[in-house]
């Protein structure tokens, strides 16, 4: 999750130049990868692509994994680090407490301009290399209520087990067994558990219970450092002679005739190159929920209107080799979020410092992977469902951050980040820019295009506010938490207006992009793009909106997707 990141910050970043990404030297001989034929070409070495490539190569398929970006973790050759990490072999990516610093720009980890019109990682590990590492197992209802046959909770059970065997989910982060930065956790627990009637639970012990529950976050860390597919699956894949990872490669399109792929067209060091499949090969797009649909459209696979626009401009010739699939890009989802700034007499804010951490905290991390830098800034999380008039339900998630945001930076301030999650009626689609470059990005109707969503989230905020002591920003409560940017006594209507009006605190984009090439609509249950023979999508595009942060679900989808591909090969 990108805590404390707003659309304003994103727009500011997108206008900045991005440093060139150096190539990652893999453990394979890379001299002739361009001239070989591959059983599987996986595009995108991110959260899903690494897992898919590992499982396919494990099954004996000659697998090429292509990535636009470069190193990230220290184990990949990543060298972006503050001076206090010099000589450690760690990069900024490895240290959980430094994740927010990535969103200030001036980094090789993010996609350069012209790739996507959104905020996204282009590096080994993808978004799993830059997010907070939150790692919550989706409840069974997410699979059973929102996914087709073949992808129900019982169907993904073995994939989930494989994932947890490879990458456990943890709720104790510091190697010394202690919890740090806990004043916000304790205040939130008093409010939500003792005041609002939420249950205090361990999310990993009962992942299906997501209604009025509160607890400590689950993360994907490994021994006090960031985990994820790069630390696990990729390390296994790199040991195989039939696997090759190549960075610095921008895939432009899938080469195909009427949906039968022969390979991909890519750009390497400014030159165009065609990379070929074997006679029974597959192309798997794992470039993310915006980039993968964009690649399909650039390849002549997608909605008719998109083809007409590109062909009229001379960008893509309109011909009989195109594959009409109106569901490509349709249903793009992100969690609408609101920052609620909270102050209290017992709160002690904590802000991780990239260059100059407190010496005792720095030394604690370096000596034993313990202390505040051993985890990101989310100290607690909670969930609930809000019933809708049609019998459905809207999921709502909250996380408590260790400090205030924006103008609310006093030492007694923390941030509550409220998301809408599963069951929301609003969604947009992936669109291509109209500047002649046809860069994929989100449409303008992703957030709150259905008014039901704003009402449901506002009702939830109003309900938990009733468990706070009476207060106003000018007359804070003597005991307990005081909301600062949305007064505690606000009406549902006032809250709805606030959260649906763009500001530095509302209608922010958390960049949890998903659902833009959904199973059963855009791809079949085997992850094959409908209308094609051997082109697949396996990433966040194919899953429906989840109740929890999407990372765990995307990794399950990668495990399951690889399984389904191999069964039909």
256 is catalytic: no
Other beta carbons less than 10 A from residue 435's beta carbon: 8
Q: What residues are paired with 475 via a beta bridge?
A: 472
Q: Is 77 left (phi over 0), alpha (psi -120 to 50) or beta?
A: left
Contacts of 522 (CB under 8 A, 6+ apart): 293, 325, 327, 328, 330, 516, 529, 530, 537, 541, 542
Q: What is the DSSP string of 237-248?
A: HTT-TTEEEEES
Closest CA to 349 of 418, 419, 408: 408
Please, are residues 297 and 330 in contact by the beta-carbon 8 Å criterion? no
Instruction: Count Cβ atoms within 10 A of the Cβ of residue 200 and give its class: 0-12 exposed, 13-18 middle, 19 or more buried.
Output: middle
- Cα(481)–Cα(319) distance, rounded to whole angstroms? 62
3-state secondary structure of 433: coil
| Residue the block writes with tokens 């012990």 | 205
Q: Is 114 left (phi over 0), alpha (psi -120 to 50) or beta?
A: left
Where helices occur in 154-199 by DSSP H, the ranges are 157-166, 183-189
- Cα(40)–Cα(37) distance, rounded to whole angstroms? 9
Q: At what angle do helices 550-567 and 157-166 cross, to 10 degrees?
A: 120
Other beta carbons less than 10 A from residue 110's beta carbon: 23
- Cα(428)–Cα(443) distance, rounded to whole angstroms? 6
- Cα(439)–Cα(139) distance, rounded to whole angstroms? 35
244, 405, 462, 512: which is the annotated catalytic residue? 512
Q: Is 27 left (phi over 0), alpha (psi -120 to 50) or beta?
A: alpha
Closest CA to 540 of 515, 519, 506, 521: 515
3-state secondary structure of 312: helix
Please, are residues 498 and 490 in contact by the beta-carbon 8 Å criterion? yes
| Residue the block writes with tokens 């989930």 | 160
Q: What residues are paired with 65 via a beta bridge?
A: 42, 245
- Cα(281)–Cα(95) distance, rounded to whole angstroms? 38
Closest CA to 438 of 294, 328, 303: 294
Q: What residues are paired with 382 via a beta bridge?
A: 214, 398
Q: How far is CA 74 from the centre of its chain?
A: 21
| Active-site annotation, residues | 512
């Amino acid at each position: 999750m990108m805590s404390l990141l707003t659309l304003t910050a994103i727009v500011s970043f997108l206008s900045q130049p991005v440093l060139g990404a150096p190539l990652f030297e893999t453990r394979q001989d890379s001299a002739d990868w361009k001239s070989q034929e591959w059983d599987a070409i996986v595009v995108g070495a991110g959260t899903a692509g690494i897992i898919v490539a590992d499982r396919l190569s494990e099954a004996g398929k000659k697998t090429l994994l292509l990535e636009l970006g470069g190193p990230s973790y220290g184990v990949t050759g990543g060298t972006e680090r503050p001076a206090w990490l010099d000589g450690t072999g760690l990069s900024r990516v490895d240290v959980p407490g430094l994740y927010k610093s990535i969103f200030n720009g001036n980094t090789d980890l993010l996609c350069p301009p012209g790739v996507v019109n959104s905020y996204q990682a282009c590096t080994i590990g993808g978004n799993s290399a830059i997010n907070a590492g939150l790692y919550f197992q989706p409840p069974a209802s997410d699979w059973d209520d929102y996914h087709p046959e073949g992808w129900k909770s019982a169907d993904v059970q073995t994939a989930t087990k494989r994932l947890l065997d490879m990458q456990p989910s943890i709720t104790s982060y510091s190697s010394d067994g202690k919890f740090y930065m806990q004043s916000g956790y304790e205040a939130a627990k008093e409010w939500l558990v003792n005041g609002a009637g939420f249950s205090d639970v361990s999310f990993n012990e009962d992942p299906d219970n997501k209604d009025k529950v509160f607890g400590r976050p689950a993360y994907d860390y490994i021994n006090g450092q960031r985990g994820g597919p790069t630390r696990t699956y990729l390390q296994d894949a790199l040991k195989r002679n039939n696997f090759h990872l190549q960075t610095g490669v921008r895939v432009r399109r899938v080469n195909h005739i009427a949906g039968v792929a022969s390979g991909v067209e890519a750009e390497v060091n400014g030159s165009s190159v065609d990379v070929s499949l074997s006679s029974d090969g597959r192309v798997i797009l794992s470039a993310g929920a915006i980039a993968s649909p964009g690649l399909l459209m650039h390849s002549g696979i997608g909605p008719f209107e998109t083809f007409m626009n590109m062909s009229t401009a001379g960008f893509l010739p309109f011909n009989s080799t195109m594959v009409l699939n109106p569901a490509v890009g349709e249903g793009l989802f992100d969690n609408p979020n609101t920052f609620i700034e909270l102050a209290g007499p017992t709160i002690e804010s904590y802000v991780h410092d990239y260059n100059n951490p407190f010496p005792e905290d720095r030394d604690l991390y370096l000596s034993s992977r313990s202390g505040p830098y051993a985890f990101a800034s989310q100290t607690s999380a909670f969930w609930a469902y809000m019933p809708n008039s049609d019998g459905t339900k809207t999921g709502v998630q909250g996380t408590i951050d260790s400090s205030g945001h924006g103008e609310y930076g006093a030492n007694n301030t923390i941030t509550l980040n409220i998301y809408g999650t599963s069951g929301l009626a609003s969604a947009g689609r992936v669109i291509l820019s109209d500047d002649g470059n046809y860069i994929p990005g989100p449409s303008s109707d992703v957030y709150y295009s259905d008014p039901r969503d704003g009402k449901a989230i506002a009702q939830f905020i109003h309900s938990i506010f009733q468990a706070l002591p009476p207060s106003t920003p000018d007359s804070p409560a003597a005991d307990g938490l005081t909301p600062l940017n949305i007064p505690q006594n606000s009406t549902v209507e006032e809250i709805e207006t606030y959260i649906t009006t763009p500001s530095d605190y509302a209608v922010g984009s958390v960049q949890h992009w998903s659902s833009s090439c959904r199973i059963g609509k855009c791809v079949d249950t085997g992850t094959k793009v409908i209308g094609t023979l051997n082109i697949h999508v396996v990433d966040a595009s194919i899953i429906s909106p989840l109740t929890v942060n999407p990372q765990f679900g995307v990794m399950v989808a990668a495990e399951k997707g690889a399984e389904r591909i191999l069964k039909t090969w």
